[in-house]
Each structure stands twice: as C-alpha cells, then as structure tokens.
Amino acid sequence: MIGKFICLNEQTYNSEIPAELVSRYARVDEDEEGVLVDVLPTTFAQVGEDNKTAYGSVVELTINDAKFYVMELEASWLNGEVSALIKLGDGLSYPNNTLLTKEEAKTLIKTNQNDLY
C-alpha cells in the first residue's frame, strides 16, 4: 500500500467515495460495545477531515475560477483502490480527479499558490 495524491474537482470532493475505498475510509456507526451497526455514506471531504492527522490538511486551490482539492490517501493496487481513483478521472482534463506523484502535487500547489491567498 502506498500513499497517493489526488486532485479532486469540487463535485467529486463533495461526493461519496467509490465502493473500493469503503472498507478503508468509510465512517461507521458502532453500538456502545464497539460492534459495527452500519457503514455510513462518506464523502472525500469527510475522508480529508478524518485523516488530516495522518496526511495533513487537504489543500484547496482555485484554478480558472474552479475549486480543486489536493489530498493524500493510502491506496492499494491489489484491492482495486488505485484503479478506482484513476477511474474518477476518466474523460476529464487535468487537474480534474488526477492521481499525482508527490512532486506533481507539490508543483500543482506551488504553481497555484497565489490563488490560496
């Protein structure tokens, strides 16, 4: 399993995570004894909030008047998680739902940091 960066457009960021990521990132409802009661619908925005101690805060960018969110996730090729993340960007232009290396994420943020302030 490896950490990956992804730049999500606003619509995807506020949408539910793909099924392949549910076992790793979904919020759950447990009873008082810690027994799983339900798996709750979970958005990428909620995942970003839940994981900021592990991966840092999600970076919000505005590029050509559109909002984008760069976040780090742990994702497995074996479990189909990376493939599900790649599929989010099918047919979309960069940087919409684009999986990035660490250096690519840094460059995207640095290039658009003027939009952060």
Q: Tens digits of per-residue pLDDT, 13-37?
A: 999 999 999 999 999 998 998 898 8
**Percentage of the chain modeled with pLDDT above 90:** 83
Q: CB of 39 within 8 A of CB of 46?
A: no
d(CA 82, CA 84): 5
* Measured distance CA(39)–CA(55) in Å, rounded: 23
Within 13 Å of residue 32, how many CA atoms lie on the same side as its CB? 0
pLDDT at 1: 41
Structure tokens at 48: 């970003």
- Please answer whether residues 88 and 97 qualify as being in contact, where contact means their C-beta atoms are separated by less than 8 angstroms: yes
Q: Which residue has the tokens 């790793």?
A: 24
pTM, 2 dp = 0.88
For residue range 50-64, list pLDDT tens digits in order.
999 988 999 999 999
**Residue 2: pLDDT band with limits 50, 70, 90:** low
Residue 95 phi, psi (nearest 5):
-100, 15
